[in-house]
Structure 1
């Protein structure tokens, strides 16, 4: 298993730091976020260390996504969540604070006060088309 001795999430995987684990399989661990946005906010991580979305192996990413789906189902069924946000932050400018890939599973409730940092507004169609052209193969 790939680990980073300084990584707090690697320490959780190793059992060296306490956590409120809620799900685990052979490749992933899910535990409660210590700074929850809503009731039931959990983090899903690969047991192998990968700093972010751009470095995680595809099969590890798939394993995390499948586990996040399982945790989302648990939140929906056991916490009566009205919806679920899955969120990954890649890089400090995108609010990543722990550099071990992780996916936030954030249960949403009809009257919860949590707001994401932006409000969608219509974009400029020409700029959208130009950007799409840059991203195509």
Structure 2
């Protein structure tokens, strides 16, 4: 398969990642008393940050929403890279490698802190990006 095909698949995986992450709002399924107490504490404890009053909950939600935005952005950029790879795979290859290295790091983080679905999506993304890079290299080498 061509690099552009693998990048389109990677884009779809990133889109699934973004949808799944966003659907997880508020990212904390509090069901019992200790969890509810922790969330209440996160929401009630306010402190000044650079002249603004914030809580730990504000940061928690803000970072969660930011991650969703970045994941949707990745899906769009990967789709755009697929279009570029059709005409100039050699120039897209460094971008593919950058995403690949990023997802390798995410894989280590995901293995340590998260659960099976993001682990599977991260592994699938690494495979697609590795194959896209290999395909772009082969195309450039005339293989």
Question: What is the TM-score normalised by the length of structure 2?
Answer: 0.31
Answer with 1 or 2: which has the greater Rg: 2
Answer 1 or 2: which has greater helix percent. 2
Q: Which has the higher contact order (CA 8 A, sep 6+)?
A: 2
Answer 1 or 2: which has greater strand percent. 1
